[in-house]
Amino acid sequence: MRIGPHKLANNLVLAPMAGVTDRPFRILCRNMGAGLAVSEMVSANSALHGNAKTLRRLDHQGEPGPVAVQIVGADPEDMADAARLNADRGARIIDINMGCPAKKVCRVAAGSALLKDEALVGHILEAVVAAVDVPVTLKIRTGWDPQQRNAVRVAMIAERSGIQALAVHGRTRACGYSGHAEYETIRRVKQSVAIPVIANGDIDGPLKARRVLEYTGADGIMIGRAAQGRPWIFGEIGHYLTTGTVPPEPDPVWVRDTLIDHLKELYSFYGDYLGVRVARKHIAWYSRSRRDGARFRARINQIEHKERQLDEIRRFFDQPNNNRGIAA
């Protein structure tokens, strides 16, 4: 799959997720087989550019290219400024968030709230495309609610505005993450535009990935929640799409070592104090569906120091019969 001048290694994309797709996780997923990894969203509000959280989100040191940064906001000029800022800091793809369903984002008429104002959608897209020399992509939902699915119209606006790839989550804003993603709208979007379309929503394994690609005709797929605690999902899907065979579940010892390496990167990126706390959610995701997982997570959430956190992980994953598919 190609986005502007960038030919990706494959058509598997890590979705941007606030509080999840930090630099350590993006690098890990790229190493595990993702062709592209999109950053956490960065606010276009210039007042936030100097705080520690935003500066971490602008840090791409050691990240394999092309670096893709997602920006969020509702003012065309602010969004253009944010695009320029991130391009100057190393972004080679700018992604625009018009899909986030979070109330705090929609309250300021950003994210998926923008889908209610197609004229403003066009103004924002045109301003950002004109502001930078790198490709601009867009992520949307199918509409504001099931009665107002306007993804096809928004996709056509995006194509006219110069957007070079479009990711569509198969739910409306009103649906949040409940129920099942629907792919008929994504299929209609793909039939309506010539730019690459990336299907997103409920893709949780190799078989589902192939079904979604075949049904929608999409050029690629985007994976979010299914990669939490399972970054090797990209390699599994890539293997299946290439060979037609599903690889075996990874060995618990390999999972343990992958988690430990991930946590060490988190400690380095955030510092020991914050790194231990950020690590807790990742540990919970890696340990779900494993024997005694609930008790393990209760213990790990009380640990304050990285050495003890790592020791507890080693003990847990070295337990006999600690395999996926066993109730937590």
Active-site residue (options: 29, 100, 106, 175): 100
Q: Are 123 and 166 in contact (CB under 8 A)?
A: no
Give the SS3 label for residue 176: coil
Summarised one tens digit per residue, pLDDT across range 120-136 is: 999 999 999 999 999 99
Residue 173, SS3?
Answer: coil
Task: Name all domains of the chain by residue range, CATH numbers in brackets.
Answer: 2-243 (3.20.20.70), 252-317 (1.10.1200)
Question: What is the reported pLDDT for 326?
Answer: 41
Could you tell me the pTM of the whole model? 0.92
* Residue 106 is among the residues annotated as catalytic for this protein: no
Write the pLDDT tens digit of every residue in 269-319: 999 999 999 999 999 999 988 888 888 999 999 999 999 999 999 999 887
CA distances to 5, 178, 185 from 172, rounded to whole Å, are: 31, 10, 10
Task: Give the up-direction half-sphere exposure of residue 271: CA atoms within 13 A in the CB hemisphere.
Answer: 5
Taking the C-alpha atoms of residue 247 and residue 241, their distance in angstroms, rounded to an integer, is 11
**Residue 115 CA to chain centroid, in angstroms?**
20
Asked if 146 contacts 175 with a C-beta cutoff of 8 angstroms, the reply is: yes
Q: Any idea which of 46-55, 187-196, 312-321 has the lowest mean pLDDT?
A: 46-55
